[in-house]
Amino acid sequence: MPDDIPSYEPNRFKVVAIGSSTGGPNLVQQMIAGLPADMPVPILIAQHLPPKFTRDLAVTMDRQSPLTVVEAEDGQPVFPGTVYIGPGHMHTRVIKVRSQRPTIQVSEQPTELLYKPSVDELFDACAQVYRSHVLGIVMTGIGHDGTAGATKIVQTGGVVLTQSKASCAVYGMPRSCEEAGLSSARLDPESLRRVIHQISPSFEHHAQRQMPGRSA
């Protein structure tokens, strides 16, 4: 049974990192499309797909979402309110040099990893740059990609959430994180979207409107 939706302060996170594989593209697409335009943090996605498909996914999501959605490019600055999808067969990371704005790094290295883009590589990089302000989300997929990266997120004080078993096409990646004791909550995609929405300034107003019995 999925856990209750956790609540976080709006300034708790400075980045959202999402890892997904089999069965993930449609779910990720729906989650991003349901987020508001005022998201004050970047969202980085490692989705296991071949190159052309990650590019097509970015184009489709950009049309459907109030946020800007792009396929990540090496050297690209990381801006709030933008969604970066890692290109297929490449690893996507975020790096930061001194006081400069974080930037995207896209590379084939390390070449020996089975999955490209690697969720582990993305999560590890986010933990190094954003430390305790990372919200990592591990979604449907085979294997255990994301578990090592999720470990780094938790070790630096960030939060990791996993997709619930019943809502997964393949309950592999989330289960691996849960068995390692890294998941703070197991949620369906709509509940995961609602957690991300908490980061936006519009969330409090939205929540107040939903409160039963609240006078106009």
CATH number of the domain enclosing 88 = 3.40.50.180
Distance of CA 164 to the CA centre of its chain: 15
Whole domain around residue 25: which residue ranges? 15-209
The amino acid at residue 120 is D
Give Cα separations from 153 to 78, 119, 134, 159 (angstroms). Answer: 19, 12, 7, 7
Q: Which residues are catalytic?
A: 21, 48, 145
pLDDT of residue 214: 38
- Assigned domain for 93 exists: yes
Low-confidence ranges of the chain (pLDDT < 70): 1, 204-216
Percent of the chain clearing pLDDT 90 (strictly above): 86
* Residues counted in the chain: 216
- Assigned domain for 6 exists: no
pLDDT of residue 212: 43
What SS3 state is found at 144? coil
- Assigned domain for 2 exists: no
Give the burial string for 176-190 (b: 16+ CB within 10 Å, else e). Answer: bbbeeebbbbbbbbe
Between CA 142 and CA 21 the distance in angstroms is 7
- Assigned domain for 203 exists: yes
**194-204 residue pLDDT tens:** 999 999 998 86
Count: domains in the chain: 1
- Assigned domain for 63 exists: yes
Between CA 200 and CA 179 the distance in angstroms is 31
H helices present in 4-118, as ranges: 24-33, 51-64
- Element (H or E) spanning 194, and its range? helix 189-197
pLDDT of residue 204: 67
pLDDT of residue 206: 56
**128-180 residue pLDDT tens:** 999 999 999 999 999 999 999 999 999 999 999 999 999 999 999 999 999 99
CA torsion angle 9 11 12 18 (round to 10): 110
- Assigned domain for 186 exists: yes
